A and B are shown apart, each in its own frame.
Chain A
Amino acid sequence: MDVLKQLLTPGRTLCKAPGASKKRLLQTVAQLIAEDQISLDATELFTQLVAREKLGSTGLGDGIAIPHCRIENCVHPLGTLVTLDKPVPFDSPDGQPVDLMFVLLVPDEAHQEHLDILASLARLFSQTDFCDTLRSQAEPAQLYQTAVNWPG
């Protein structure tokens, strides 16, 4: 899948992460991204992701969430793929807890391209077979390969 190839790296793919809560999950993700991208600060990322969630949940339903926000010092759009060891409450519209998550960060300036990326991610993660295959992966490397090589 091209969009995932652009956004994802093996280092930003996390398999069966311990979730426990939405807060801790976003904290883990912020840390993961900040370690991978020197220009980004974990606290800032965490604050922005939490602020976006406060305005409305990014849960899509069926256990899937795509948290996203604009971020200063982010040069190009980038993402993180995470599967969870157990589902976490996420205030999703269907009330289902989340066990599969893709975090999308985009640069500060608003751009139609960002909305398009978000839309294609939403389309991709609405495919049940895609999501189930991701969920069944046990290793980060496999998870990464499965995601970027998914036909479509």
Chain B
Amino acid sequence: MKIIILGAGQVGGTLAEHLADEQNDITVVDTSSDKLRALHDRLDIGTVTGEASHPNTLFKAGADDADMLIAVTNSDEINMMACQVAHSLFNTPTKISRVRSPNYLAHQEQLFNSGNIPVDVIIGPEQLVTKNIRQLIANPGALQVLDFADGRVQLVAVRAYYGGPIVGQALQEIRKHMPKVDTRVAAIFRQDRPIIPEGDTVVEVDDEVFFIAARENIRAVMAELRKIDKPYKRVMIAGGGNIGATLAQSLENDYQVKVIETSYARCRVLSERLKHSIVLNGSAAEPKLLTEENISSTDVFCALTNNDESNIMMSMLAKRLGAKKVITLITNSAYADLVGDEIDIAISPQQITIGSLLTHVRRGDISNVHALRRGAAEALEVIAHGDAYSSKVVGRRLDEITLPEGVSIGAIVRGDEVLIAHRHIVVETDDHVILFLVDRRKISAVEKLFAVGFGFFS
């Protein structure tokens, strides 16, 4: 596939890296030739220096032949304009744009369609990050909570702790403990090495376990793996920017929320927008303020400023002063690798954004892609099409489907019904199949497996 990426920033660069090794023809456009050179030095991609939305820049980038345009420059307006130009002049089939401003997003459906601003997919990173953090707060103890099939199924990562009923036992014991709850462990990472779980795999202390279950069963399964954390009540948010404000707004009806923001003017805006949250003017790097605001009885401290270093330091401070859990926004992936146990969960906005972008890049009818473990692993939801003749999966029992190594099927969603993967289940057309890849390089084999055969009419 030929893909043009506009913007060589964090997301554009990481995306190019992700896609360049998957037999795609990638061209990256940016105004900074330095940024492009840095990318070009390590990746097999084409680059064009210029204004991303200008017709001649897009022409030079090969828009005539491109299957997809991904606009992730820093400017919402340039991104949208680029999609318009690609649509009007080059007839580009798929146009994806990052749009940050909540002002545009509030009118998403009216604005963005082929008759108006022709963007096929809008990616709003702030919305995605907010949703991600909200899920983590709703599921105490989870390292990651990812939605599939509109949230009917979730993939959850937890660390197995000493004292969890299943820890030290084989996975098949879970069924005996919970005959009514169905779940499937998709993968286990032990000291960062993936293990494809079998029924007799023994869960060890400190394993990072990824399991799939219907949403209502998540808590029960988590209780098998670790002493269950009490539901969170008190949330403290450092940084009242877009993400902090949206998160506070979505949490304030169910939790006690405090927002700490350094700018007085911003605090005034926040206190008008937030109905039940307490807005505090000050710095979360100030131990006195944290102590006064009862950091020691805070369940979750979220550091969401736009500065990685501040986020990391204030999280460590909050943790030391007694916050039970800290969630930290870290954009620099090198930092994310660096931080240790003091930070419970590091959130990477570009990782989350990339998963969302990959949903549209992958071949096939894909509803969701989540990049996991810094992009090394991937979970995806594919819709199976065709019949027993035109598909290699439809009409087959799960144990008759030859999956590439390191790939497992976790669940199938059929209409409203959630079916946890067991060998006797037969895949039907329009099933949403949820797969886990411990190694994302297997993606093209998965795409081929789900591709419809020649005889399929759409």
Contact = CB atoms under 8 A, between A and B. Distances in A.
B458 A55 contact: yes
Interface string B441-458: 000000000011111111
A54 B363 contact: yes
Contact of B365 (A24, A46, A55): A55
Nearest to B390: A56
Interface in A15-40: 20-24, 27
A23 B93 contact: yes
Contact of B454 (A20, A47, A66, A91): A66
Given A54-B364, A54-B365, A55-B385, A122 B91 contact: no
A47 B92 CA distance: 10
A81 interface: no
A27 B91 contact: yes
Interface string A127-139: 0000000000000
Contacts of A56: 363-364, 451-454, 456
B93 A47 contact: yes
B67 interface: yes
B455 A119 contact: yes
A82 interface: no
B457 A69 contact: yes
Contacts of A66: 454
A55 B2 contact: no
Tell me the dominant secondary structure on chain A's binding face. helix
Contacts of B64: 20-21, 24
B66 interface: yes
A58 to B, nearest CB: 6
A48 B457 CA distance: 11
Given A47-B93, A54-B365, A118 B458 contact: no
A51 to B, nearest CB: 6
A147 interface: no
A46 B458 contact: no
A60 interface: yes
A55 B362 CA distance: 10
A52 to B, nearest CB: 4
A58 B453 CA distance: 8
Contacts of B364: 54-56
B65 interface: yes
Contacts of A24: 64-65
B458 A52 contact: yes
A21 B65 contact: yes
A20 B451 CA distance: 24
| Range class of the A interface residue count | 20 to 34
B57 to A, nearest CB: 18
Contacts of B65: 20-21, 23-24
A46 B93 contact: yes
A69 B67 contact: no
Given A52-B458, A110-B457, A21 B385 contact: no
Interface residues of B, number: 20
Nearest to A106: B457
A75 interface: no
Interface in B419-458: 451-458
B457 A68 contact: yes
A15 B174 CA distance: 64
Contacts of A23: 2, 65-67, 92-93
Given A23-B65, A27-B91, A46-B93, A70 B457 contact: yes
A1 interface: no
Interface in B76-121: 91-93
Nearest to A58: B454
A24 B63 CA distance: 10
A115 interface: yes
B433 to A, nearest CB: 14
Interface string B31-71: 00000000000000000000000000000000011110000
A126 to B, nearest CB: 11
B2 A21 contact: yes
A146 interface: no
Point out which of A47, A55, A57, A60 has the most chain B C-beta atoms below 10 A from its C-beta: A55
Nearest to B93: A50
Interface string A99-119: 000000010001000110011
Nearest to A46: B91
Contacts of A60: 454
B217 to A, nearest CB: 32
Interface in A61-76: 66, 68-70
Contact of B451 (A47, A57, A68): A57
Contacts of A51: 458
Nearest to A31: B91
A103 to B, nearest CB: 13
A27 B65 CA distance: 10
A57 B2 CA distance: 15
Given A23-B67, A56-B454, A119-B455, 12 more contacts: A20-B64, A20-B65, A21-B2, A21-B64, A21-B65, A52-B457, A54-B364, A54-B365, A55-B363, A57-B451, A60-B454, A69-B458
25 contacts: A20-B64, A20-B65, A21-B64, A21-B65, A22-B67, A23-B2, A23-B67, A23-B92, A24-B64, A46-B91, A48-B458, A52-B458, A55-B365, A55-B451, A55-B456, A55-B458, A56-B451, A56-B452, A56-B453, A56-B454, A56-B456, A69-B458, A110-B457, A115-B457, A118-B454
Interface of B: 2, 64-67, 91-93, 363-365, 385, 451-458
